[in-house]
Structure 1
Amino acid sequence: MTTFQEDATTLLEELVAVRRELHQAVEVGLDLPATQLIILRELADLGLEITTGDGISSVVAVLRGDLPGPTVLLRADMDGLPVTEATGLPFAATSGAMHACGHDLHMAGLLGAVRLLVARRDRLAGTVVFMFQPGEEGQAGARVMLEAGLLDVAGERPVAAYALHVDPSTRRGDLVTREGAMMASANALRVTVRGTGGHAAFPHLAVDPVPVAAHLILAVQTFAARRLPATDQAVISITRLGSDSEASNVLASAVSLEANIRTLSKATLTTVREQLPELLRAIADAHGCTLESTFIESYPVTVNDPAETRFVLGTLDALVGPDRVVRQEAPSMASEDFAYVLDEVPGTLVFVGAAPEGGSPALHSERAVFDDSVLGLQATVLAELAWERLQLR
């Protein structure tokens, strides 16, 4: 096994500096011009084939080894969250946005892997595609890039795809993954229940949708426990609730609800998608109301290919030792749009423990803090996975 750890150690100071620059330059969504410029600057003069997105701030870099071989894809996401940072760090963002999910570390870690692999181009047996992706936090940036031809950018489709995700709640340096479903799908159901509205003093002369909405909320909360098998998890939560009444003495004529739906299989999602609106509509009908519903499809289940994940686990065991490689028992109910890539290419998502001394709140907190000394490990792992996978042909 060719290891990259020593070279990554020499790069660490540089990677920490660019991570902190990216942290302060944080942007949200698909349009990340400042972030893109930093990535392009770091990739310049490395002899890579670089393309940028049309209408989005994506960056794709292709490294062709001097020896023939297949293609492997490595991915990092680029966008932050609309969260006002409250970490007190000297390099904290001040724009009202924050890298509260660690995407700044993802970019810096992948930039490190680029440098490690470029330095070994003469022995690299194949091609590596480096995917820098905006819009992970809800805008499906990976899907946009796939639709634009990401998988054909090197001339042949990748045989495998890998990504890392830092976690400030996991012990620093631990590497966590599992075969099969790794993270849940994320979808939503929007519902509007309509009555007639009226005077708050005379509810018997109106059809009030508010108490009906209360019945709908209870039905949503109990749906998973009674309609779905206990062996196939689902989490369904009401995340939005509002009415069209703007006065305390006016009964609403309509109430809107939104349910966030997390599932771990396509079969379970189909059940929720078909049966939950039917149940809610029947409850509304029973109370003299009408109900309109819209299903909003978003991220699919993140599924780690079993064969690729066994390869990844073996590679990580040899790289850092089995005591630092954790086989995650159950999937996370959070979601990740690397799922779109894994729907097309067999591969694996791995979590990297980045807990600082003293601990940190969880991902997406305005106080989330990451130990960026793990950047050398991130660069090493990504480079090692690409290198070893290319040897398999």
Structure 2
Amino acid sequence: MSLDYTDTVADWTDSAEALLGETVALRRAIHAEPEIGLHCPMTTAKIKAALAGLPLEFREGPSTTGLIAILRPKGRAGDNGRTVLLRGDMDALPMQEETGLTFASTIPGRMHACGHDSHTAMLVGAAKALCARADSLPGTVVFMFQPGEEGYHGAKHMLDDGLLADPAPDAAFALHISPNMPMGAVVTRNGPLLASAETVHARITGRGGHAAMPHENIDPTPIACEIVLALQTFIARRIAVHDPAVLSITSIKAGSGAHNIIPDTVELLGTLRTLSEDTRAIMHQAFHRIVEGIAAAHGASAEAWIDTGYPVTQNDPRAVELFRRATVALDGEDAWQPMRAPMMGGEDFAFVLREMPGAMAFIGAAPEGTDPATNPPLHNTHMTIDERIMAKGIALHCAMATGFLERGFD
């Protein structure tokens, strides 16, 4: 059977629609029992149960409860053709759900507010659909069920555990739902899609004392304020607007609560986002230099450190073109919506895309009758999606996988 989009897209759509009911049921089961971080055993168990009996090879590592499922082509000896990776993340957020859904979180303080429950369910659906046609696949499909996306470096842990080493994928693709994009729209771009994301810290140490006699002390509070403003000035005057950086100081902690005591120390906490490794390196150097230099200029001392986070999520233009062709074949030209500018959020699929070419795309999931522009966004306690979008997600996963296996990036 030919695996050209024009010949098979209707088949993938039909297969995905047939799987929608069980996909919704799986998504709701995961949604009701959200798990956080690198260890999501209940979610992994649900995935294994849903995939039981399929011709898949399973692989797990010591660092996470992530799961790799491998679908190898049947009836081929020696060269098994190309290998493609499809990824879905599994973990939830530390938030109290306020959606009022009948299948809302049953665990206080945890919620699937970023759509990872739907990502996992769609990837399970794609595995089922592709396994049903295992006899005709021209290569290997690796399904990556990954925990720890929300700040825990889950993808990096799975890579470091060697779970993607054999077979090594030739390309990787991922989907991310969005309640703020029209239902069914597929949105992505060439090059940087999402920013690097890391946490910055500073501790300014002066000499505390009576607030009525600041000249006898070294007050770290105005020094900290000067540092915050200097960091913003550096970005405004020294960082090119076409290769931007965002540095937001989100917490300033100082003092005992008394109105008449100058504290010894002030602590700063914030986030740094960039869209290139060059600007990332410049901002790392500048952060240390500005914090330490301004403190020293006032006779204080300072420590500055950065928790290295996710790199830039860099889409390969060839992979984006594959997304475009698959989307148009599924739903027509109107469904394809190129993204004009990157988003400054972070995503640990970036670790995968550093190892192999590929791309991530957003898929619109605005509930029927709602305004995408005003819907509760990702990471909001009221975030909901139109579950029907999962059928398109399944079909798009399948079209991307088979399209790449058949032709690569040609």
Distance 2:44 2:68 in 1: 11
Which residues of 2 match residues 377-392 of structure 1 at below 5 A? 377-392=392-407
Give the match for residue 32 of structure 1.
40
The letter for the 2-side match of 1:23 is H
SS of 1:259's partner is strand
Q: TM-score, normalised by structure 1?
A: 0.97
Contact 1:354 1:372 in 2 (8 A): yes
Q: Structure 1 CA distance, aligned partners of 2:26 and 2:106?
A: 17
Q: Which residue of 1 aligns with 2:317?
A: 306
Are residues 1:76 and 2:88 paired?
A: yes
Give yes or no for the alignment of 1:145 onto 2:155.
no
Moved more, 83-92 or 316-325: 316-325
Aligned partner (choices 291, 296, 321) of residue 332 of structure 2: 321
Paired residues of 1:85 and 1:94 also in contact (CA < 8 A): no
Distance in 2, matches of 1:170 and 1:207, equals: 51
Once the two structures are superposed, residues 173-219 of structure 1 have per-residue CA deviations (whole angstroms, 9 ceiling, x without a partner) of: 00011111110000122111110111222222111101111111111
- Does the residue aligned with 2:139 lie in a helix, a strand or coil? strand
Gaps of 5+ in 2: none
Q: 1:198 and 2:213 equivalent?
A: no
Task: Name which of 330, 348, 360 aligns with 2:359.
Answer: 348
How many residues are matched? 391
Task: Give 2:98's aligned residue.
Answer: 86
Paired-residue identity, %: 44
Task: Measure how far apart 1:283 and its partner are.
Answer: 1.5
TM-superposed CA distance for 1:245, in Å, is 3.1
In structure 2, what is the equivalent of residue 372 of structure 1?
387
| Separation in structure 1 between the aligned mates of residue 170 and residue 330 of structure 2, nearest angstrom | 22
**1:214 aligned to which of 214, 225, 231:** 225
Match of 1:278 in 2: 289
Q: Which whole-Å deviations, capped at 9, do the CAs of 1:296-340 have from their partners, x for residues lacking one?
A: 110000000112222221222222211101111111111100000
Cα contact 1:236–1:260 (8 A) shared by 2: yes
Alignment of 1:1-393 (within 5 A): 1=5, 2-3=8-9, 4-66=12-74, 67=76, 68-95=80-107, 96-152=109-165, 155-243=166-254, 245=256, 247-357=258-368, 358-359=370-371, 360-392=375-407
Matched-pair contact (CA < 8 Å) for 1:76–1:107: yes
- 2:197 alignment partner AA: A
Amino acid of the structure 2 residue aligned with 1:309: V
Cα distance in 2 between the residues matched to 1:150 and 1:382: 21
- Kindly state the Cα deviation for residue 246 of structure 1 after the two structures are TM-superposed: 5.0
Displacement, 1:122? 0.5
Aligned counterparts of 2:321 and 2:63: Cα–Cα separation in 1: 37
Q: Secondary structure at the match of 1:165?
A: strand
Moved over 6 A (4+): none
- Give me the whole-angstrom Cα distance separating, in 2, the residues matched to 1:143 and 1:281: 31
CA distance, structure 2, for counterparts of residue 40 and residue 222 of structure 1: 52
Which amino acid in 2 is paired with 1:225?
A: A
Tell me the CA shift for residue 221 of structure 1: 2.4
Shift of 1:244: 5.0
| Equivalent-residue separation in structure 1 for 2:233 and 2:95 (angstroms) | 32
Cα distance in structure 1, aligned partners of 2:67 and 2:167? 18
Contiguous gaps of at least 5 residues in structure 1:
none
Q: Do the aligned partners of 1:223 and 1:276 also contact (CA within 8 Å) in 2?
A: no
The aligned amino acid for 1:341 is V
Distance 2:398 2:340 in 1: 26
- Give the Cα–Cα distance (whole angstroms) in 2 for the partners of residues 79 and 288 of structure 1: 46
Instruction: Give the drift of 1:249.
Output: 2.8
Amino acid at match of 1:98: M
TM-aligned CA deviation for residue 277 of structure 1: 1.7
- Aligned equivalents of 1:252 and 1:245: distance in 2? 7
CA contact (8 A) 1:181 1:303 kept: yes
DSSP-derived class of the 1:151 partner: coil
Q: Secondary structure at the match of 1:149?
A: coil
CA contact (8 A) 2:203 2:266 kept: yes
Contact kept, 8 Å, 1:220 with 1:237, in 2: the verdict is no
Alpha-carbon distance between aligned partners in 2 of 1:15 and 1:291, rounded to the nearest angstrom:
53
Q: How far off its partner does 1:230 sit?
A: 1.1
> What root-mean-square deviation, in Å, do the aligned CA atoms of Structure 1 and Structure 2 show?
1.2
Contact 1:84–1:94 under 8 Å retained in 2: no
Q: Deviations over 1:7-27 (max 9, x none)?
A: 111111111111011100101
- Checking the alignment, whether the CA contact within 8 Å between 1:245 and 1:252 is kept in structure 2 is yes
Cα distance in 1 for residues equivalent to 2:201 and 2:353: 28
